[in-house]
Amino acid sequence: MKQTITLVAAVAAIFFFWHHLLIYPLKILVVFFHESSHAIATVLTGGRVTELVISQDQGGHVISRGGSRFLVLTAGYLGSLICGAVIYLAAARTRKDAAAMFFLGCLTIAIALFFVRNLFGFAFSAATGVVMILLGARAGEKINDFILQLIGLTSMIYVPMDIYSDTISRSHLQSDARMLAQEFGGSTLMWGGLWIMLSAILIVFSLKWGLKTSRTETPGNPDAAADR
């Protein structure tokens, strides 16, 4: 329970100081998840990624050929949301936090090597992957558990905020939702609203499942702790 309170306080602090320089690496990591989701969706649907770029101004893009255009465009926001949920639940529901961190670091480096094509994006993702591997190899389970949950929660909670900013409050932007509306019908507001609703459902489910584990892990209930 104490760790849960600390985690919630840390997430609240991150969003309170969202525009502070200290939070900058975490914001770029969220962008990395977004663009990587586009790239992975492209490959999984039979396409080819030409380049993945992550810029210093917290933007990015993926240029690809082939694949399912609908799934590729949808994968950005919802893919980064799923990434956050998987990372959070992997930490909250298992005791393999160090292994999960190590695997995430290897995956981050692999994406950098195969897809990232600009110097800043490659340097950031490769360095982040190395740090994650070192944490997984040398840091304790509690440290890895806290960091993974922090990354997962931040990514999940930021997604609907980002969708609202890009598709509703600034619907004139050339966002994933606008391109989806142009190519498949509907409107930017419609796709943005649908993604926000799906995001809310997944966030509630993930938090409910993750926090349920934290509540059942008490010193007097060792069986529940073993099921984590």
Q: Give the start-to-end residue ranges of the domains of the chain.
A: 2-226
Q: Is the pLDDT assigned to residue 16 strictly greater than 70?
A: yes
In this prediction, residues 207-224 reach a mean pLDDT of 57
pLDDT confidence of residue 218: 44
pLDDT at residue 2, as a whole number: 66
pTM: 0.86
Nearest one of 27, 147, 157, 14 to 91, comparing CA atoms: 147
Residue 130 has pLDDT above 90, yes or no: yes
3-state secondary structure of 116: strand
**pLDDT by residue (tens digit) across 53-68?**
999 998 999 999 999 9
Contacts of 168 (CB under 8 A, 6+ apart): 189, 192, 193, 196
> How far is the C-alpha of 119 from the C-alpha of 124, rounded, in Å?
8
